[in-house]
Amino acid sequence: MNNLRLGFTETTLLFFYYLDLQKICNSEYVNLQDSLINWLCTTSGFYDKNICGSYFDFDANKIKNSDVYNNYFNRLLNIVKNSNTKLELNFHGFHNSLIQYKEEFLNYIDYNKNNNQTNILQFMDNKNVLIINNLGSLMKMQYESGNITKIYQRYPISAKNIDFLEPGYTFFNNGHDSSILETAEKICDKIKIINFDCVIISAGAYSSLLFDYIVNELNKDVFVAGCDLPLYFGISTNRVKCFYSNQINEYFINVPDEMKPLGYEKVENGCYW
């Protein structure tokens, strides 16, 4: 069974993209849309080198009219509309005048929220697992050391093997290629030569694109996790320390400084490391 999760920025911008397609004019969402586009391009890994900007200084209107942005959200809309999967959407708060359109959007994609998602540790059981996350090497280390089963004794998992792919960071509208779409294709080329039964992904704006490829082209099960993925592997990121301090024990490890990207403090105050 596949699990797809969209974060607050992706979910809300996808909703606004739908409103734009339907030519629904409502001034109540324009400012929030512009703000979230800046979040998308600054912190999520979404990038397009044809667009100027680096850190919350993007021209949102130009981005909304760009080929990369429209290609990305068109693909995202098709993914959530056509996927036979457990789907979790997370909306930012917005003006009450948009509530009726939210219901139309949810009906359009035939959305039924399922709160009984497979536990991520159970998802791994008895499988060759590929983790796509930039802390993947730490997650593999935590599993092989036995720390996961010491932390979560009620989930006695036994994965056949854990491999990882660390996709790299493309914050601040910066990447090695022309855009997120080209980089995603190159990541997919790496994925297809790895032997695995299922995949766990937590890779920002790349997650849905990789989900689509793995599910539909490789016919493998995928679990898209959010930013709490390190918690399940006993990794004490700043976010874990803030929200789950009561769960941290001697089997948790910190993210070493050498694994923190340049400028990481500027990405939501470094909460992911």
The pLDDT tens digits for 188-217 are 999 999 999 999 999 999 999 999 999 999
Query: Which of 40, 26, 185, 202 is CA-nearest to residue 130?
Result: 202
Query: Which of 214, 203, 45, 210 is CA-nearest to residue 135?
Result: 203
Average pLDDT over residues 124-139: 97
The pLDDT tens digits for 55-74 are 999 999 999 999 999 999 99
The structure tokens listed for 228 are 């709490």
Cα–Cα distance list, 217 to 119, 140, 191, 192 (Å): 24, 26, 11, 9
Residue 28 and residue 156 in contact, taking contact as beta carbons nearer than 8 Å: no
Fold of 120-270: Rossmann fold (3.40.50)
Query: Which of 214, 192, 183, 190 is CA-nearest to residue 201?
Result: 214
Compute the distance between CA of residue 175 and CA of residue 179 in angstroms, rounded to an integer.
7
- Answer yes or no: is pLDDT of 118 > 70: no
The strand pairing partners of 3, in sequence order, are: 86, 223
Q: Residue 256: what pLDDT?
A: 98
CATH 3.40.50 domain extents, the chain: 120-270
Give me the amino acid identity at 10.
E
- Range of lowest pLDDT (142-156, 196-210, 249-263): 142-156
- Answer yes or no: is pLDDT of 184 > 50: yes
Q: Residue 154: what pLDDT?
A: 74
The structure tokens listed for 30 are 């324009």
Q: Residue 115: what pLDDT?
A: 47
The pLDDT tens digits for 224-244 are 998 999 999 999 999 999 999
Residue 171 and residue 263 in contact, taking contact as beta carbons nearer than 8 Å: yes
The position carrying tokens 């930012």 is 92
- Exposed/middle/buried for 108, CB within 10 Å: 0-12, 13-18, 19+? middle
